[in-house]
Structure 1
Amino acid sequence: MQRPRALHVLHVPSTSALLANDKIRLSKPEQVSGYSLHPDGRLTFDRACLKELRPAKIGANLLDGFESHHVEPSEDASPSLQPILDAMLPANREAHHADAHLSPPRLPAAIDVVTFRNNLNKILGTPYNSNSPYVFHVQRRGRTLFLNIQHERDADGVMHPAQAKGAYAGRQYEAIASHGPRGEYCGVFAMLLGSTQLLVGAELDGVDGRGDYVELKTYKLLQTSKDRFSFERYKCLAFWIQSYLVGVGRIRCGFRSADCKLVKEQTFATSQLPAFGAKYWQPNVCLSFAKLVFAWLEDKVPDDTAYEVRYDPRARALSLLALPDAKSFLPTSVGASWPNGPTTS
């Protein structure tokens, strides 16, 4: 099926041009709500599914059970923003923070962008992305832009074997490096990127003994200069973006051998990572481009119609396209009163 013609195109500036821009500040992310997604699909506004981290067993086989692993049907191509919207209801915010023994912070007077962290990971990484296309949907309601994740798979829906093993090993590492109830815990964070007020939902791996959030990652053991280049150029950038966006201060990485045995664990401060990758990437390039994207969307997306944003790495450009059915992905009740009014239809 032929793809619709782009309505608007944003060409990605060179990294040197982005670096020449004024420094963009991301304010310290503040958690304003959260929720637990249970295995049976229940959503509760508490930290019931938040894991506690523990040392993983060195030598553990991260592919244990892979051959007999049953691949579940692919997830919905477009996860709903409803959990974030519901988490922002006053009663649900209060329930979450009471469970966490915290006082709910004041909400920003207005919110410009609502999204899952996944979309921001892609946007911030775009200036250094020459290989990986991506897509997300966007819809404006009032002053707020809502960004919705879109998952795209190969035509046959099958993941490459190496990717499948890597994904499985990552999940196994999370399982042996943490303990707690099954399910997912997501935090909802508010922060300012320049003058743009963001509201971001992010799945969190767990907390350490001090109660601080820590991300869990895996990577192959660094044995060659090529390994180190790949780690500093690509992985440190991805780790930094993901953690920095929601104020996670540390990343614990499980390094694995060629046959996916856990060799060692190493903890990195998120603030350290730009120094590791300084030869290859700069934080302000990422933040400056994100500011540019939000200004572009603010200018080009009219009220209450859903659009597709698609990145073509060969063209080094983002395109805004009309969706064939232009179907809204927001509840009709998300309006001027949100987030202080109801969000269910």
Structure 2
Amino acid sequence: MSINEKDSGYKVIMHLRYSELTNKIYPPAFYLSRPKIRAIYNVTSCDEVIDCVQLPYFKEPKATSYPLDLNKGFDQFIFRRDAEPYQLLNKVQKFVLESEENVLKLNASQKTQTCASSSTSCPDKQSALEPKRKQILTTRGFLARIMLTPYRLKGSEYNSMTFYATRYCGILHLIDSNYKMDRLKKCSYHSKFVQACYSDSPDLEPNTNVPVDENNIIFSIYQTTLKEFDLIYSAEIQGIISDHKINDIHNLDEINECRFVLTKLLPEKPIEDIFDHPKCMLFWLQSYLTNVNDIFIGVRNLDGVVNTPVQMKRVQDMPKNRFWQPHICIRFLHIMLSLVEETMAKVDCPYTTYEFKYDCYAKCIKLKIHNGKSEYSLLSEEYIKKCKERTNFK
């Protein structure tokens, strides 16, 4: 370790080796269970998280719509504000606070298992043979960034990442450092393209004459499992394909049967297969984590104009014949979640934050600890109180 690294307060806790991380011989015998939507929220331009939501409906641009000029209305375009670390968990915290069901009960129940009678096998004996359930509250962005890591070992500022963890009442709360976007015209093209592909109703065409405000966002809360980990995370969604309007956004049985889609925009590149584009691995991960089966991809030129029709791609086809493999991404996610859990096993503080840094130049994971309340603290006071009550953690 260099003097600068030592002075920065980081210590190395794990070295990453490409040959080990991308070993294709031993795929894991586990995958994510199918992610289920547990709630849908609208984050308004005033940064309020509300449950009054109107789902957008995908409408493929008509042939007469091309070329699509994504520069239209840029003078009124509103870029997304940079978020503070504590704001990234506000959606999952709201879900925990307002859910009628105690979504933290799995954590609480670990402490109350007893034998019902001497004539039956004791659950405690069975649980001793199985990993204890471990609960994680996080964001899709964090999960996707971690899953990309085995294929981002080349030294560059773009590949490095930092994420933060707080362990309280036995629950891990995880976020990655928020990416600061450039506010250049080309950075507005994707949101303008999305506006051209979605409508407020299945019977209406998209309205591209209103300003785009990137601060008005729809999020879903998802729940899934990965081996011994129970994951609850927020993810931005774009819309659905449907021939009828969804009137009850709180009917989760109906919502989970909806055909959610993603809409992506790529710059023109001299490649035969659009799936060879480097961003397509991220697109697959985002889809996998939100149970999306279809992606609609637009291709723009350097001037921000889409001249060719949108391409519909099946998510299940994306990993075929690629240099990257889904099971390697999934295996590394489990490795990292286990590392964080083991590193913080004795921590129980709502304010202390562990800062994990992936240094792609040194090919290692580093750790720095921020003890007590600080600018890195992630949890709201209201959530801290509710978490203690609902887990009965001692």
TM-score (norm 2): 0.71
- Shift in alpha-carbon separation, 1:189–1:340, aligned structure 2, 3 A: farther
| Greater mean alpha carbon deviation, residues 78-87 or residues 295-304 | 78-87
Answering whether residue 336 of structure 2 is matched by residue 283 of structure 1, we say no
Q: 1:177-229 CA distances to partner (integer Å, 9 max, x unpaired)?
A: 1123972111101101122111110010111116421111001245x24x748
Q: 1:71 to 1:174 in 2, by over 3 A?
A: closer
Within-5 A mapping of 1:209-228: 209=242, 211-222=258-269, 224-225=270-271, 228=273
- Aligned-partner Cα distance in 2 for 1:307–1:19: 33
Percent identity, aligned pairs only, is 20
CA 1:337–1:87: 2 relative to 1, 3 Å? closer
Whether the aligned pair in 2 keeps the contact of 1:190 and 1:199 (CA below 8 Å) is yes
Match of 2:137 in 1: 114
Of residues 298, 301, 309 in structure 1, which corresponds to 2:356?
309
Structure 2's unaligned 5+ residue stretches are: 108-133, 202-212, 244-257
Aligned to 2:175: 148
Amino acid across the alignment from 2:188: Y
SS at 1:127 equivalent = helix
Contact 1:87-1:93 at 8 Å conserved across structures = yes
User: Counterpart in 1 of 2:117?
Assistant: none
2:90 to 78, 82, 88: 82
Instruction: Give the Cα–Cα distance (whole angstroms) in 2 for the partners of residues 106 and 87 of structure 1.
Output: 9
Q: Is the 8 A contact 2:91 2:221 kept in 1?
A: no
Pair 1:321 & 2:368 matched = yes
- 2:58 is the alignment partner of 1:53: yes
Count, aligned residues: 317
Query: What RMSD in Å do the two structures reach over aligned CA positions?
Result: 3.1
Residue in 2 aligned with 1:97? none
Q: 1:338 to 1:86 in 2, by over 3 A?
A: same
Shift of 1:296: 0.3
Cα distance between partner residues in 2 of 1:75 and 1:106? 29
User: Any unmatched runs of 5+ in structure 1?
Assistant: 95-103
Kept after mapping to 1: 8 A contact 2:161/2:176: no
Residue number among 5, 9, 24 corresponding to 1:5 in the alignment: 9
Partner in structure 2 of residue 197 of structure 1: 230
In structure 2, which of residues 318, 321, 325 is the aligned counterpart of residue 273 of structure 1?
A: 318
Matched residue, 2:246: none
The question of whether the paired residues in 1 share the 8 Å contact of 2:79 and 2:188 is answered with no
Asked which structure has the greater CA Rg, the reply is 2
- Give CA deviations for 1:79-133 in whole Å, capped at 9, x if unaligned: 34122111233xx446xxxxxxxxx898872361111111111000000113321
